[in-house]
Amino acid sequence: MSDQNESKSAADLSRRNFLGVSSTALATAAFAGITAHAQEMQDTRKAEKDISVSNPGQENKPLLVENPSSNMPPPTDHGDIGPVWYSFDLVHKRVEEGGWTHEVNSIVLPTSKDLAGVNMRLTAGSFRELHWHTADEWAIMLDGNARVTVMNPDGTMFIDDVSKGDLWLFPAGFPHSIQGLRPNGCEFLLVFDEGDFSEDGTFLLSETIAHTPRNMLAKNFGLDKEVIAKLVRKEELYIFPADLPLSLAQDKAAIGGQRVESPIKYTFKMAGMAPTRKTPGGEVRIVDSRNFPVPKNVAAALVTLKPGALRELHWHPNASEWQFWLAGKGRMTIIMNEGRARTMDFNANDVGFVPRVATHAIENTGDTDCIFLEMFKADQFVDVSLNNWLRRLPPEAVTAHVNLNQEQIAKIPSEKELVIPG
Ligand code: MN
Ligand code: MN
């Protein structure tokens, strides 16, 4: 903070000298902020040419190698925009017989108030036990196969099998389950529409049974007290091994077939979906209430960038963005108001966060495809393209703001590309 103040006043002075006026009235806070930033950029560039950026003391080498943009930020970075990165590889992993779970929520990424994520593994046959919760649950299968069930409040039941690339949405309060299938169970990502959501805070069938007075249970179920006394297998099952289920058709028939079948389909096969947008730089699949009507509060875009490609400069008017990185590596710059900007590197299993309406771009810095999810607490995916905007303005208006002539402006893509080849 004091560094910033120092460079601010230094920039102020040099500006007044340059103008040959001493009036402090001219030194508005906004102008001082911009010149301070220009000074910082100059200083960084100078420092890069001498030994000023050297770091002779201790350093966490693996972390620095993984995060070059944090170690030596581009000179355009400035100030502090709060945390925008975390990784599933840094949070506690709850390991149980049958699988494991870990979560990135506002405890570790406090800027994300809208969404939280859970990454879970279930071995073949193992259950994430029957439960429900206060948040909507959006999910994508990352590997393997699972059987999912969810019941509507009217008693109709949805059962389906999901595999890699499939999505599901379980509405808040609707009881559901997930069970790993052959050959190797599954691993999936859950996204909840509450930033402080925790998988430890769900409502479990096992706890519900364990904490209801026995006479109430006996009356409720119409069962003998001797049966009730032995009802609790374990106070909290959470994740536990079980036998593999019957076939989907057998399970559906066993519970009453079409008579009890849910009229709503809670799963979505994203793997079979054609890209919403495909360019030589990659592709984007947008899944929101327009093509998967069940999620009312969660919209998603699965982005694939080829090496060198750029997810173009854009922002989202309706929500902040919570990212999950599935593959490859890249770097994202987020540009905020007051001249603040931050560049961070991302790898598979990382989580990114972009504040609402903040401009951002993502570049594939690896030599393989980089794949990430852009998630929003919104019914629709909405983004504004900077290119698109500049090309919709009268060229004179653009020239008045940036040093480009009409010919140069005409080279900027006029439509929203989403993904620009490298
Ligand atoms: Mn759940
Ligand atoms: Mn975005």
CA angle 331, 361, 419 (to 5 degrees): 105
Which CATH number applies to 273-420?
Answer: 2.60.120.10
Residue with tokens 């079979």, as numbered in its chain: 272
**Burial level of 129, CB count in 10 A (0-12/13-18/19+)?**
buried
Ligand 2 centre to CA of 245 (Å) is: 40
Please, what's the largest Cα pairwise distance for the chain? 95
Q: Is 189 helix (H, G, I), strand (E, B) or coil?
A: strand
Decide: 33 and 339 in contact? Cβ < 8 Å.
Answer: yes
Ligand 2 centre to CA of 332 (Å) is: 10
Q: Report the topology of domain 91-268.
A: Jelly Rolls (2.60.120)
Ramachandran quadrant class, 328 (left: phi over 0; alpha: psi -120 to 50; beta: rest): left
Convert the pLDDT of each residue in 2-53 to its tens digit. 444 444 444 444 443 444 444 444 444 445 555 667 887 888 888 888 888 8
Active site residues: 374
Q: Shortest CA distance to 42 belongs to which of 17, 78, 67?
A: 78
- Please list, in sequence order, all residues whose beta carbon lies within 8 angstroms of the beta carbon of residue 353, skipping any fewer than 6 positions away: 83, 84, 85, 86, 109, 111, 112, 320, 321, 322, 323
Residue 420 and residue 361: Cα distance in Å, rounded?
11
Q: What are the C-alpha distances in Å from 286 to residues 64, 207, 352, 373?
A: 34, 38, 18, 10
**Whole-number CA gyration radius for the chain:** 26
Collect residues with CB below 5 Å from ion ligand 2.
Answer: 321, 374
pLDDT value, residue 33: 54
pLDDT value, residue 220: 98
Ligand 2 centre to CA of 285 (Å) is: 13
Ligand at minimal distance from the CA of 418 is 2
Ligand at minimal distance from the CA of 374 is 2
Which pTM value belongs to this model? 0.90
pLDDT value, residue 52: 85
Decide: 83 and 110 in contact? Cβ < 8 Å.
Answer: yes
pLDDT value, residue 24: 46
Query: Hey, CA dihedral for 64, 68, 71, 72, is it positive or negative?
Result: positive
Q: Is 415 helix (H, G, I), strand (E, B) or coil?
A: coil
Ligand at minimal distance from the CA of 150 is 1
Ligand 1 centre to CA of 222 (Å) is: 28
Ligand at minimal distance from the CA of 382 is 2
Report DSSP letters for 81-144, one per residue: ----EEEGGGS--EEETTEEEEEE-TTT-TT--S-EEEEEEE-TT-EEEEEE-SS-EEEEEEEE
Collect residues with CB below 5 Å from ion ligand 1.
Answer: 137
- Spans of the chain, pLDDT less than 50: 1-30
Structure tokens at 236: 């909290």
pLDDT value, residue 27: 46
Ligand 2 centre to CA of 353 (Å) is: 9
Ligand 1 centre to CA of 51 (Å) is: 53
Ligand 2 centre to CA of 122 (Å) is: 31
